[in-house]
Amino acid sequence: MKKAFTITELLVAIGLLMAVLGASTTIFHYSIEAQRIAMATSEIMHSLRAITDQLNANFAGLRKDGYLVLRSTSDANDAVYFFSTGDFISWEDSDVRSNTARIYFGPAKIDPTNLALDIKLLTPGKSGIDYNDANFAACQSNIFDNYEDPYNILSAGRPNINIQSEPNDVRKLLAQNVGQMRIEWTDANAPSGLINWYTADKPKPGSQSFEIEGPPYLAFWSPFNPTDWPMALKFTFTLYDSKGILKTGRRFEHIVYIGN
């Protein structure tokens, strides 16, 4: 004969079942949360790779016979402007090529959480959306008269990105959900062996780079002060995921070596 369950045994069984269901719910919750964090982290790492790859590629061709201008602000949304060599192809017209381009790297004009990479080819005799009728030799002589004012580009003239009204702006969008972009520079190792990092708003004492009282603050290196150029730039920034899962984001540092 089958043994009938007593009330006590039945209550124990129900209690065990509820405990199992509670544990399963907790495990399911943590599994979902872990998956969300993993997806957010993957999104952030994808943005990090895009940013560092572009910095490495563009600074590999840095023209130290050109200009390097660093804009620093109190809200840590810094930007940099420089010339680089490479095999540049216009996205507007694939027949337009140049081995020199002006590059802007920094926050977009309207929404600083959009990180812009604006590349303008130097194409004497031709002008378009992403290429200018400009000669690098003329830029070397006087960038303000022969090309464009880097001070203006790094402040009021920063590239705007509005994909909804102008789909082509997506070509200037390097990454979204970027905050607190800080750019520092160093010229050499200190006697102690430690590296001293400086910003345009807090430059090295006695530095020959050109600073303007701000904000914004500007450090300026040109073909006319080649011995004062920095040896490296350090980019520090925070990346956030699009869904806001990682509330404080992730902070990263990336150093680009410029050399002597």
pLDDT tens per residue across span 33-91 = 777 788 888 999 999 999 999 999 999 999 988 889 888 876 678 999 999 999 999 99
pLDDT range class, residue 5, cuts 50, 70, 90: low
In whole angstroms, give the CA distance from residue 91 to residue 95.
9
Q: Where are the beta strands (DSSP E) in 47-175?
A: 68-72, 79-89, 97-107, 115-122, 131-132, 173-175
Phi, psi of 53 (to 5 degrees): -60, -45
Q: What is the pLDDT of residue 251?
A: 95
What pLDDT, on the 0 to 100 scale, is given for residue 45?
A: 93
Tokens of 61: 């061709």
Q: What pTM was estimated for this model as a whole?
A: 0.82
Map out the domains of the chain as residue ranges. Answer: 44-257
Average pLDDT, the chain: 83
Q: Which of 29-33, 34-38, 95-99, 156-160 has the lowest mean pLDDT?
A: 29-33
- Cα–Cα distance for residue pair 85/59, rounded to 1 Å: 9
Dump pLDDT digits (tens) for 105-140. 999 988 889 999 999 999 999 999 899 888 888 888
* 211/61 Cα distance (integer angstroms): 25
Share of the chain above pLDDT 90, in %: 37
124 φ, ψ (degrees, to nearest 5) = -50, 130
Q: How far is CA 158 from the centre of its chain?
A: 14
- Which carries the bigger pLDDT value, residue 217 or residue 57? 57
What distances in angstroms separate CA 146 from CA 51, 56, 124, 140, 142, one per listed residue?
30, 28, 11, 9, 6
Residue type for position 133: D
Burial of 136 (0-12, 13-18, 19+ CB in 10 A): buried
Q: What's the rounded Cα separation, in Å, for the pair 122 and 137?
A: 11
Q: pLDDT band for 10, please (50, 70, 90 cuts).
A: low
Give the least confident one: 112-116, 166-170, 178-182. Answer: 166-170
